[in-house]
Amino acid sequence: MDKKRFSEEKYKKLFTPIKISKVELKNRTIFPPIPTNFATLDGHLTQKYTQHYDRRA
């Protein structure tokens, strides 16, 4: 597969802004919610939870 064609043509809009209704996003990448079980049973966030998302930001 031609790497140049793969990265430049097929995905060239991936990192460009997009407007959905009244909301404008700076790119088209998403990070879906993933169950981590890092919160407490009553729903409070833990340090492990915030570290999980800090590493991905």
Query: What pLDDT score was predicted for residue 17?
Result: 94
Q: What is the residue extent of each domain of the chain?
A: 3-56
pLDDT tens across 7-54, in order? Answer: 667 788 888 999 999 999 999 888 888 888 999 999 999 999 999 989
Cα–Cα distance for residue pair 27/42, rounded to 1 Å? 34
Helix, strand, coil share of the chain (percent; to 5) = 30, 10, 60
First to last CA, the chain: 31
